[in-house]
Every structure is written in C-alpha cells, then in structure tokens.
Structure 1
Amino acid sequence: MASLIGLAYQGFSWLSKALMWMLYAGRPSRLRDSLEAAGIRIYPEAYLSAVGLFLVISAAASAAIIWLTGFLPVAIAPIIVLLIGYALPSIKAQDRAAKLDMEAPFMAAYISVMATGGLSPYSSLKRLKNCELLPHTSKTAKLMEVDVHLRGMDPVAAIEKSAEKVPSKEYREFLLGYVHTLRTGGDVVHYLLTRTEVMFRDLAAKIRAFGERAAMLLESYVAIMILSTLGISIVYLTSIAFQGYWQGGFTAENFLLYAYILTPVISMLFIYLSDLSSFQEPIYETAPYKIYAASLPLMIFLVLEMFLIYLVPELALVLPFADQFKGFLTFLRSALGLERGFEPSLGMGIALIAGTIPAAVSHSYYNRRRGRSIVSEVTNFLRDLTEARKTGASPEACIDQLSARSYGAFSKHLRIVARQLRWGQPLRVMYETLRRRISSWFALINLYLLVDATEVGGGSPETLETMARFGEMQASLEKEKMAALRPLIIMPYIGSAIMVFSTLITINFMYSAVMSISRTAIPFAQIITIIVPALVFQSYLMGVVTGKISTGNVSAGFRHAIILTIVTLLTIVSMRFFRLILPI
C-alpha cells in the first residue's frame, strides 16, 4: 500500500494540487484533520495523488468501454471515483467514532478498576495497547505512547491531545474530564467510577434505541420487498397478457434486472444502514465468512447448472452434467406434483441452500462455543469470587474453591483453569486458556479485567467489587440487547410467505382472467420460470438481512437464509397441494 501511495505521489502530485483547490478550496488543514480523525496516516497531498491515480485509471477505462461498446452511462465512473475519494475520510471517521463509542465504556471500566488498584489512567492505557479485545482503543493507546516516548510530551498532555483528535464523543469527554479533574486537584478515582457508571447507563439507552431502530428497519425492508416484488410482477404479467396491444411493455429482461440487480442493492443498503446504527462487539468470528467464500464456487456452479440453463438454453450445450441436472429437477418437480416451469425454482433453492449450509454450520458451531448464557455465568462467577476474596483467601485459592460450584456452560472451562492454577501456572494462563475456548466478547473482557486487576492491585476486595459491579452492568446490557432483538425474527418469515403466496395467486388470477376473457393462453411456464426463482432468491436475501439486523452479524443470517428458502419452496408445494395453483 505504501509503495502504491508513493508511486501515485511521484506521478500525480500535480493533479493533487488541482484536487486540493477543487475539493478543499486549497486548504490542506481540512483534509489533514479528516484523515487524522479517520486514522488514515497519509499526508494530504499523497492521499489526493492516490485519488488522482484512480481518477485517471477510471477515466481511461470508461473511455475505452464507451469506444468499444457505446455504453454511455459508464462515463459517470470517474465522478463516482472522485466522490468516493472525497467522502472516504469522513466515512472512515464516522466508523471509527462509532466503534470507539462502543469500546469507551469498557475502556473506562478497565481504567477505573485499575485506578482502585493504584494504577494511573496513562499506565492503564499503556497496558491496553496490546489488548485485542479493544482494537481501536489499542491503536489510540499506541499513538499516545509515541507522543510520550518519541515526542517528549508528558502523559497528561498526551492524553489530552489524543482525546481532542479522536472523533468519539464518549472517549473524548471521559479523558478530558479526567485531565480537568487531575489538574484542578479533584478526586480522580471518584470521577472515573462515576463517569463510567454514567457511560454504561448511556450505552443501555443506546441499546434500547437500537432495538426500536432495528424493528423499523426490518419492517421497512420486508414491506419494500413484498410491495415492490408484487407490483413489478403485476406489471410484468400485464405486459405479457396484453403484449398484442401494448408495444414496448415491461420485458423479462426488465424483471430480471430488478430481481437480481436492484434487489441485492436494496438489501446491501439495509445491511449498511443496520451497520451504522447497530451495537457491535469489537471482535467477531471470521471463520463463517471464509467458509462461505470457499463454498461460493459450489453455489455458482449449481446456479449455472440448475437455474441459468433454463433462462439461457444455449448454456446446456456447453455446461457439463446439464442433462443430468435437468433430469433430476424434472423428476423432483413431478414427484412434488408441480407444473412444468417450476424446475428452475427448485434448482435455485437447492443451489442456494447447498452453498450456504457449510457457513451456517460454522456459525452455529461458534455460536455454541460462545454460549448464550455464558455471559451471565461469568458475571455470577465474578460476584462469587469477590465475596470469597473478602474472606482473605488469595484469588487463586478462591478460583479453586469456586471450581466445584456449577456455573452452567462456564463450569467445564473453570475446572480446567483451576487445575492449571493448582499445577502452579500463573493467573495470566487462565485468560489465555479461556481465550482459546470461549469466543464471547462480553465474557472475555470481564476475564481480561479480572486477570489485570489481580496482577496490578493484587486482586483486593475493593478492586474486585468494582470489577464485579461493572461486569453486572455488562451482563444487563447483553440481556437488554437480546430482549430488544428477539421479537424481530418472526417478521421476515411471515413476509416471505406472504410475498410468495400473493405473487402466485396473482399469476393464477391473470392466467384465468386472460383465458376467460380473450380465450387466449399466456405462456404460463415462461412466467413461472422468470418470476418464481426470483421469489426464492429474494427470500434468501431476506434471511441474510434478517440475521444482520437482528444480531449485528451477517453470518447469523446464513441460517435464516436457508430456512426462508425452504419456507418459500414449501409454500409453493403447499399451494399446489391445496390447489391454490391451478393445473395448466
């Protein structure tokens, strides 16, 4: 990346000056502030040189495409590149601010607990520079250490500078308040504890508000999908039914453009809107996404073999196994009692399900590893540990005693840790062991806090009491989050069934009406081939978006996507079984 920026600056520095005047009125300080807030450590001139490089490349590519194909809309590509280059620092700054706002209460809890053990906030932040559980706070702490050790700033001034430059309001107010309290001679520990409690209360209010926004987003998405699909289907059916009287009507190509281009764009837009307002943990499992990417070739192959050969029959002549797949789908369609034309719908459903099952299984595995109840069990363990520590026993002895108690899914992990401590392993090994066995971020941040509090302050009862209180606040946040999002799950299932039911009923009505009025048949098999696979695909997308909005992770939507695809196929078969789809 650095070599690319250097190459761009060497060859396009002249263009960066023009862009600076055009976009920022010749004031580099505006861009410099935006880049610093976004965490992009590049000089403004070098950044605009890179934008200029991509601008020239996009302009050349657009000119070549227009010259070869005559497709004029591609001429807007350079404008899009310029707008992206202008907006990228602001978007990155907003994203960084949102993530730091989420991490700020837990960073404050860590600093407050360490302060009760006698450690200064600057020393606490230094200890966080290698904490992978708070990645954005860790990056900020590293920059703060650079200011102290390389630029000679005193720690308090470095904290003040970091707070002023960071785009997060929560982070800035917490650290600036500490600096002010320290300089005026106030009670720093009391300020840290009080301010942290306020931050957790504010975070709880944000989570409740997120539940309301998520419900609104999901309701809007389901309504848009149902109404737009039904409306476009009616327009397409009308165009087919009256094609002898309506020249230049809504064609199959128009419908396919809506179903497979516009619908995914709408879904991605709602995923992005959900990401902007969601409560996301700083770390998450990436294995389901890697597995999904690895299974995409299988999905694409099956879509080609089981769906696209019906839209483009010429593909059957060049694709291997095309006849075998067509024979299988014909047999399956006959066994289910469906009419001719439903084969590509079944093929689309099978392809999507087969390509998503590995990722859904992976997500379920890591979800079980997280343990839905493990956060509350870890919180109960910390409270019991605090009370046991008040008897005067060492933290290691308290952990050994509590390992005999039942803490649900956490018990098996606790027994392993207690055995390691009895073998003389240091307390830090406890966290490393649990880090490999547990993926719940809320549980891990509490355990990380326990280990550091014990190492710094000896695990005094006062320190552990503070830590347990903040842990209970975190557990309460997790419960509120789950309670706010749980009712949203049922909405897309009902919406998908309504979408399929209403569209198929409309197709049957149009077919019957045209047959009874004009005594002419419309190509029923062609209509089913065009419309119904799109319903299956849209139900799949609804599942992915549901997982993102309801949990904050796209990987959670893989399971919903599979189930919604199955629900769609079952709805089609059930309608034929109950004769809601007329035999043709």
Structure 2
Amino acid sequence: MKLQLRSEKPENEELPFAFMLITLMASCGLSPYESFKRLRFVDLLPFVQKESNEIVRRVEVLDADPLSAMQERAEETSLEDYGDFLRGYVSTVKSGGSITNYLKSKLRSTFDIRVAAATRSIERLETLVEAYMAVLLVLMSVYILVAVISLSSFSATLGFVFNGQILIYLVLFFFMPLASIIFMAFAHLSRRGTLINIKRIYLKSIPSAIIGLAILLGVFLVPEVREAFISSISSIRKTINAALPFIHIGSLLDYVVPIITTLSLSLISILPAVEYSRILKINLKAEESMPSFLRDVSENRKTGMSPEKSMFQAATRKGYGVFGEILKRIVNQIEWGVPLRDIFTDLKSRLRSWHVLMNFLILIETIEVGGGPAEALDLLASYSEKTRDVEKNKREMLRPYIVLPFIWTILMALTFMFTFYVITHLPTIGISVITLPALKSQMALFSCAIIFQSWLSGFFIGKVTQGTFAAGFKYSILLSLTALTSLLLSQNIIDLIMGML
C-alpha cells in the first residue's frame, strides 16, 4: 500500500471557509457571483482570490454570462471539490432549485470531509514519527557494528583489517542529519499549522547564531577565552560534586566541546522560542475563544441588537484570557466609530491565527453585506466550533508523540557511550596502542554529533505536533540539554549495568 505523505493541497484548506463565506452571503441575499466579486479582495484565500478574479474577468471583460464562466472554470480547475461545487451551483440554478439549501448542504459535506482528512493526516504523522525513530535506531546500530568491526582483535578474527573511522564520521555527521532533514521535509508536506506571517521568529535566530558562532571560535582560537571557559567548568564540577557526591558525572573537562556546542545551539534557539511562546499563547487562546465569541454575537443578535452592539456586548464577557485584551481593543474601536474593515486590518497586525482571522473576516463580510442576520451568524458560530474541535482533537492526538524524541535522544546518548566504553575499557578486547588514544580523542567530537542530532530532532517534532518549525526551537533546546545530560550521567548508568553483570 502506498504511503501518502503529502497532506491535502493548500487550496483545499481554503475551500471550507470560501464555501462558508459564499453560503453566508447567499443567506443575506447575495448571489454567488456577487460573492466572487467580493472574494477578489480576500488575500487570506489566495487560491479563491485568483479564481474569483478569473471568473469576474470572463464575465466583465470577455462578456460571458456568470453561469458559463463558472461552468468553464469547473471543467478547467484541478481541484475536484471546487469543480464539483461550481457544477452543482450551475445545475441548481438551471433546475430552479434552492441555492441556499444547496450551499448549506455542500458546506456541511465539505466540513465532514475535512474532519475525515484531519484523521488521515494524524495517521500519516504517526507513521512518520515511528519511521523516523526506526531510521535513527538503524543508524545507531550501524554505528555499533562499524565500531565493533573496527577493533583490531575482531578484524584479526575475521581475517582482514577494517578501518571504519570514515564510516563512523559519515553515520554521525552526515547520514543522521540528512535523515532528520528528509523527515522534516516529509513533515512539512504532511502537516500545516494555523499560524501565518511568523517569519520574524526565524529572523530572531540570526543574531543568536552569530553570537553562538563567535563563542565557538573564541573558545577554539583565543587561549584566554578557552582558559576562562575551562576554569568555569572546573568550578561547576566542584560545586556539583560538593552538592551531589553520590552522582559521578565524569570529568567535565572531557566534555568542554560538547558543553560549548550545547550552549551555542541553545543560544540560537532561545530568543525564537520565547517569541514563539508569546505568539502561541495569544493565538491559541484566540482559537479556543473565538467560537464562544461568535456564539455570543449570534445570541445577542437574536434579541434584536445591532451587529456592532452584539459584538460590543459579546466582547465584554469575561473568561477570554489574553484574547480578552484584543477584544477590549475592538470594543474601544467600535465605540470610537472605527469602520469594521479598519478594525480587521488592525486585528491582522496583532493575531497570527489563520482560522481566527478568517472567522473575523467572515463575520465582518456578513455584517457589511446583509446586516448580520441571526441565522447567518448562528451558522458561522456552528462551523467555527467544528473547526476548533478538529484542530483541538488533532493537537491532543499528537501530544503523546512529544515524549518519543526525548526517549530516542536518551537511547542514542547511552548507546554511544556504552559502545565507546566497551571498545576502550574491556580488557578482553585487544586494542592497538594507536587505536585507543585516537578513539578517546574522538569521544568529544562524536558527542557533539549526538547533541546536534538531538537539536535537529526538536524541529521535526515541533513541525509534527504544532504544524510549524518555529515550535521546534523550544524542543531543540530541551533535547540538546537532554542529550548533554545523558552523556554526562551515562557513566553512572554504565557502572550500574556492568555491576549487575
């Protein structure tokens, strides 16, 4: 069976909201063609915006009638759902059926399909995470095999001399990072997040990367900096030994390079991680609260309040958390008489959630077109709740997979250190006098490879669980620290295991 790694096309993500917008406008008395004319200015739906421009161009420039233009686009488009929507609308108009009923039925089926697609996407992501873990374990097995075969006594037993140093370097410094990058590309195809316009988060890592690189160069090229760093590590070790005498963490001086590497990689991630956490906190609360806000607007509208008064009343309700600050700003703008379109423009500069912005846009379009009838607002609130539930279920089902990268990070660190221990310490293995010093000198370098691999894994799991690589900055810090801690404490675990044998 062929594994489908690619998620639904980005255009398919737009269709439910476009259909909702057209349906709500139809319930306000606007024809779908008039809706397409308004959709030309909705930049949050680039595919629908492009299609709307094409349909309007054929009608107003080529003098085609709207039904013929829609029928032609239905035959030409590569999106089956979009083409089926246009063909169904044209057929309903020609047969004299109820356009509103057709649009509501199509909207309902579209959201049902979207729920099923979300379930399939979760299954793909689960398979992807498991495959990634399996690949890393296979590569670690290759490392163990090559390291053992490279032993002089083992090579003599097999009757040939095998120098696996190059292959070990390739496994740790090339194949493992390459596997992470490939799986991150697969995750990018399989998972899309709800946040937009977050490039500045990635830009915040550039100054930190420069500082991290400067630290690395300073330690290796400037003796004074290196001595100061070694002195600091020695002080830290003395403090740890005094506070926790029962824990043996080995000589920290043997881990100068891994510690510097961890510090530099964490420094790259810390500012973007803080910025992403701030943005996520506001937008996640907005996604959770938006359906309740729309429901309140709908219920207030049913009592006869004006649309603006309904929004004002709904925004004053408590329990919205940090999203309440944005709603208070909207309330103030309504009191000042700011047009709803300008309020939405200001909102776009403060929120990054595509779903929340689309719901606000649909709310404003509904009010501007038909005065925000209670039936239309009730429909908007209902489908906003469905969208929230779909995204919430997706996050909840993927949350357990956050634990897996920490497990495989610890396993990789322990496997590496245990293999190194076996090669360099067991007296039954004959190691040449040339090989042993070389292996010991490479331990710090190989430890850096494990730490860097763990750092990369953070971006993979961030993309899988939250739909954006920006979420990986936090996990990359935690995983690199986990790898370093595992390497430092591995001697205790190895001594415990060897003592039980």
Give yes or no for TM over 0.5: yes
350, 363, 368: which one aligns with 1:437: 350
| Distance in 2 (alpha carbons) for counterparts of 1:462 and 1:470 | 13
Q: Tell me whether 1:325 sits opposite 2:239 in the alignment.
A: no
Structure number with greater CO (CA < 8 Å, separation at least 6) is 2
- TM-score, with length taken from structure 2: 0.87
Bigger CA drift: 399-408 or 530-539?
399-408
Report the equivalent of 2:172.
259
Query: Deviations for 1:28-52, whole angstroms, at most 9, x for unmatched residues?
Result: xxxxxxxxxxxxxxxxxxxxxxxxx
Which of the numbers 128, 142, 151 marks the counterpart of 2:39? Answer: 128
Aligned residue number for residue 158 of structure 1: 69
Count of residue correspondences: 475
1:148 to partner: Cα distance: 2.8
1:183 aligns with 2:84: no
Distance in 1 (CA, whole Å) between partners of 2:319 and 2:381 is: 16
Equivalent position amino acid for 2:127 in 1:
M
SS in 1 for 2:204: helix
Query: SS state of the match for residue 318, structure 2?
Result: coil
- Aligned equivalent of 1:249, options 150, 155, 163: 163
Provide the identity percentage.
27
Letter in 1 for 2:487: I
Distance 1:96 1:485 in 2: 16
1:410-443 alpha-carbon deviations (Å, 9 max, x no partner):
3222222122212222222332332222222221
Offset at 1:380?
0.7
Gap change, CA 1:191 and 1:230, over 3 Å in 2: same
Q: What does residue range 307-456 of structure 1 map to in structure 2 within 5 Å? A: 319=221, 321=222, 324-325=225-226, 328-329=229-230, 331-332=232-233, 335-336=236-237, 337-339=249-251, 341-370=254-283, 372-409=284-321, 410-456=323-369
Q: CA deviation at 1:118?
A: 1.1
Residues in 2 aligned to 1:194 and 1:476: alpha-carbon distance in whole angstroms: 20
Alpha-carbon RMSD = 2.7
Partner of 1:226: 137
* Correspondent of 1:117 among 14, 24, 28: 28
Deviation at 1:242, TM superposition (A): 4.8
Query: What CA deviation, in whole Å up to 9, does each residue of 1:504-541 have, x standing for no partner?
Result: 1121122223x334375522422313321111111111
CA distance in 2: counterparts of 1:161 and 1:296, whole angstroms: 52
Distance (whole Å) between structure 2 residues aligned to residue 526 and residue 234 of structure 1: 20
Which residue does 1:568 correspond to in 2? 483
- Which segments of 5 or more consecutive residues in structure 1 lack a partner in the other structure? 1-93, 307-315
Give the direction of change, closer, same or farther, for the CA distance of 1:152–1:241 in structure 2 (3 Å limit). Answer: farther
2:461 corresponds, among 541, 546, 564, to 546
> Are the equivalent residues in 2 in contact too, given 1:345–1:536 (CA < 8 A)?
yes
CA contact (8 A) 1:431 1:447 kept: yes
Structure 1 pair 354–218 and aligned structure 2 pair: CA distance change class (3 A): same
The residue number in structure 1 matching 2:241 is: none
Instruction: Give 1:149 shift.
Output: 3.0
DSSP 3-state at the match of 1:408? coil
* Contact preservation (8 Å) 2:139, 2:171: no
1:225 match: secondary structure: helix
Contact 1:330–1:343, Cα closer than 8 Å, also in 2: no
TM superposition shift of 1:492: 0.6
Residue 235 of structure 1 is matched in structure 2 by 146
The AA in structure 2 aligned to 1:206 is A
**Residue of structure 2 in register with 1:495 after alignment:** 408
Inter-partner Cα distance in structure 2 for 1:470 and 1:186: 24
1: distance between equivalents of 2:109 and 2:179? 38
From 504, 508, 522, the equivalent of 2:417 is 504
Query: Is 1:556 aligned with 2:468?
Result: no
Q: CA deviation at 1:132?
A: 2.6
Please say if residues 208 and 484 of structure 1, whose CA atoms lie closer than 8 Å, have aligned partners that are also in contact. no
Bigger shift: residues 354-363 or 103-112 = 354-363
- Report the Cα distance in structure 2 between the residues aligned to 1:125 and 1:96, rounded to whole angstroms: 27
The superposition leaves residues 379-419 of structure 1 with CA deviations (integer Å, 9 ceiling, x where unpaired) of: 11111111111111111122222233114123222222122
Aligned partners of 2:460, 2:79: CA distance in 1, in Å?
Answer: 28
> What are the residue-to-residue correspondences of 1:452-491 with 2, within 5 Å?
452-491=365-404
TM-score of the two chains, using structure 1 as the length reference: 0.75
CA separation of 1:439/1:177 partners in 2, compared to 1, >3 Å: closer, same or farther?
Answer: same
Structure 1 position 126, deviation (Å): 2.3
The residue that corresponds to 2:125 in the other structure is 214
* 1-structure distance, mates of 2:14, 2:266: 36
Change (3 A) 1:114 1:525: same
CA 1:480–1:95: 2 relative to 1, 3 Å: closer
Amino acid in structure 1 at the alignment position of 2:296: D
Q: 1:449 to 1:519 in 2, by over 3 A?
A: closer
Amino acid in structure 2 at the alignment position of 1:394: S
Kindly tell me: are residues 164 and 327 of structure 1, through their superposed partners in 2, closer, same or farther at Cα, counting changes over 3 Å?
farther
Q: Which runs of 5 or more residues in structure 2 are unaligned?
A: 238-248
Mapping for residues 138-153 of structure 1, pairs under 5 Å? 138-153=49-64
Deviations 1:354-392 (A, max 9, x none): 12212222212221231x232231111111111111111
Q: Which residue of 2 aligns with 1:197?
A: 108
Aligned counterparts, 1:296-315, within 5 A: 296-305=209-218
Please give the secondary structure, in 1, of the residue aligned with 2:317. coil
1:164·1:172 contact (CA, 8 Å) conserved in 2? yes
AA partner of residue 533 (structure 1):
C
Q: CA–CA distance in 2 between the matches of 1:127 and 1:326?
A: 67
Distance 1:163 1:242, change over 3 A: farther
Give the direction of change, closer, same or farther, for the CA distance of 1:293–1:440 in structure 2 (3 Å limit): same
Cα 1:141/1:233, change in 2 over 3 Å: farther
One-letter amino acid of the structure 2 residue matched with residue 563 of structure 1: L
| CA separation of 1:578 and 1:500: change in aligned 2, threshold 3 A | closer
Counterpart amino acid of 1:324? Answer: V
Deviation at 1:130, TM superposition (A): 2.3
CA contact (8 A) 1:389 1:460 kept: yes
Q: Judge conservation of contact 1:359–1:558 (CA < 8 Å) in 2.
A: yes
Instruction: For residue 499 of structure 1, report the CA deviation from its aligned partner.
Output: 1.2
Superposed CA offset, 1:206-235 (max 9, x none): 111211211111111122113312422441
Measured after TM superposition, the shift of residue 569 of structure 1 is 0.9
Is the 2:209–2:264 contact (alpha carbons within 8 Å) kept by the matching residues of 1?
Answer: no
